Amino acid sequence: MTLPLPTERLRETLMAQPLPHEMILKWAKERPNEVYLRQIIDRKFVDFTYADVADKALRLVSALRSMGIQPGDRVALMSKNCAEWFITDFALMLGSYISVPIFPTAGPDTIEHCTTHSGSKVLIIGKLDDTKAVESVLAKYPGLPTIAFSYPGTPECTHKFNTLVSETPPSEERPKHAQDELMSIVYTSGTSGLPKGAMLTYGSFAWTTQRLVDHIGMQDRERLFSYLPLAHITERVYVLGTSVMAGIQVAFPESLDTFIEDVKMYRPTLFISVPRLWTLFQQRILDKLPQARLNILLKIPFIAGVIKRKLAKGLGLDKARMLGCGSAPVSSALLRWYESIGLNITEAWGLTENFAYSTINHPFRSDKVGTVGNAGPGVEIKIASNDEILVRSLGLFSGYYKNEEATKEIFDEDGWLHTGDIGSLDEDGYLTIQGRINDNFKTAKGKFVAPVPIEKRLFELSNIETMCVIGSGLPSPILLAIPHEFPHFDPARYEHKVHRVIETINSELESHAKIKGVLMVKEPWSVENGILTPTLKIKRHILEKKYHDLGANWPKDKLIQWEE
């Protein structure tokens, strides 16, 4: 099932729309004193009006020019979300620079690769939880100019952002960028090896964000909350992009420790998260209100409404009219649980290469939970003969930077983007993702296994927070699991439950896909220890390598082992 491509006339109309840097100047002129960005500092909001943002962005353009940075030069930006991130991004557009966002949790190898591969002429550094990685890279490249945002813990840099924008006059330049002009190089999060640089153009960025604004129906007085990494395409498009195109206010958290309180301070109307964080929010609730008691309360009509409102308010989401989830596979059971407490979560799916805009379950349909929605307006989708999902729209990237071979591999001659995901479309055009082609592995028996559907089913049965099924070259698949330690955690009781879960799922699987053993992993997986990408996806190939010998020599008479 496919949707027709836009006519040439419609294509011209869509591509002629304003670009993001033009919109920030428009709002600064039409709504100069209206607050656009709200940064929480010392538990208070520090506000930036549209006029403030445009003025600071134009001053940064002048400052970069005075440093010898010329139009077309690449400028790298590494920081957690903050108002200055938005201001800098607009400045780079207004100065005709090419932005190179770097994840704030990136390790030294990734930082060095993104900076050197892109040929960045300056590195702008902001809020970071740990500065060791970037400091080690700066020590290797002492001649690289750096600019620091004014936040505690920012490493020593050659220039200070606040000083530059206060001492430099605003630029008089007003560039007119072509629709196909390169705006940004976004390095993918890299689940296998070093990330590739996806080249994003102005026209495709503007087209995608405007489609989302129209489809979701974003309105005046909406409130967005920006906390997922802005170096990731989802946050850049769904929050930064839509906010500037529609003129919507955005707030930023103060820190990870104050995150929930920050959301409650702001009470966003639109809120996007990732599966891992939705799971953590669920556990936060269940630690205080166990499922058995919650079930009883939700069956009492009057009490149920009170409980639902209280839970939403406790998360700061009582004013949210739309909740979103993306970036990684999410269990239907988790979405159903939130639906049971009155919070409908809209799932969406996309890639860096198509600006994270392929499908979205909007308007929310309960009967389509388990799918990632249907094609967004202007997007067409089809399933190839090998079950790979192909996408085509006006919102596609223009290729990988300095990597023609990879670019040729991802596009076919008809302009279809080969996503690398496998899935199926139902009779209504709603898409179900079944995993990635590269995730599927072949066991020692020569049989292929798709791990993602198994993991989703395991989550439904067990509610294990983090897990990964491995099995490449092994006699049978092995489950790696990180148990959630509830209050008064009883390992023996937990083991007994896992036994029952594995018995159930093995009864549903073909013989070659049955799980032979479960390893209870001791150390949680994280970005810092190299198991998770900055967007919290699991690097399956790393775990395959680390636990291969253990899986190959799994004892016949033991289902569960605890890592020492």
CA–CA–CA angle 326, 327, 332 (5° rounding): 50
Tokens of 346: 């809209």
Q: Which residues pair with 468 in a beta bridge?
A: 480
- pLDDT recorded at residue 396: 96
Each residue's pLDDT tens digit, 296-352: 999 998 899 999 999 999 999 999 999 999 877 788 888 999 999 999 999 999 999
Give the list of residues 6+ apart from residue 399 with CB closer than 8 angstroms, or none.
199, 407, 411
- pLDDT recorded at residue 64: 98
Average pLDDT for 226-245:
96
- What mean pLDDT, rounded, does the chain reach? 91
CA distance 461 to 467: 13
Tokens of 286: 């269940």
Delineate the domains of the chain, giving CATH numbers in brackets: 441-562 (3.30.300.30)
3-state secondary structure of 267: coil
Helix H or strand E encompassing 98: strand 98-102
Report the share of the chain in percent with pLDDT over 90: 70
Each residue's pLDDT tens digit, 242-256: 999 999 999 999 998
Please check whether residue 80 is in contact with residue 255, taking contact to mean a CB–CB distance below 8 angstroms.
Answer: no
- Give the closest residue to 192 by CA, choosing from 553, 560, 545, 551: 545
- pLDDT recorded at residue 189: 67
Give the list of residues 6+ apart from residue 50 with CB closer than 8 angstroms, or none.
24, 27, 28, 31, 32, 33, 34, 36, 247
3-state secondary structure of 122: strand
Each residue's pLDDT tens digit, 367-389: 999 999 999 999 999 999 989 99
Average pLDDT for 199-217:
96
CA distance 461 to 497: 10
- pLDDT recorded at residue 536: 74
Task: Give me the DSSP letters along 18-58.
Answer: PPHHHHHHHHHHHSTTSEEEEEEETTEEEEEEHHHHHHHHH
CA distance 554 to 561: 9
Of the candidate ranges 69-78, 245-254, 508-517, the one whose mean pLDDT is the lowest:
508-517
| C-alpha distance from residue 223 to each of 230, 238, 250, 340 (Å) | 17, 12, 6, 25
* Torsional sign, CA 530, 534, 538, 540: negative
Model confidence at 4: pLDDT above 50: no
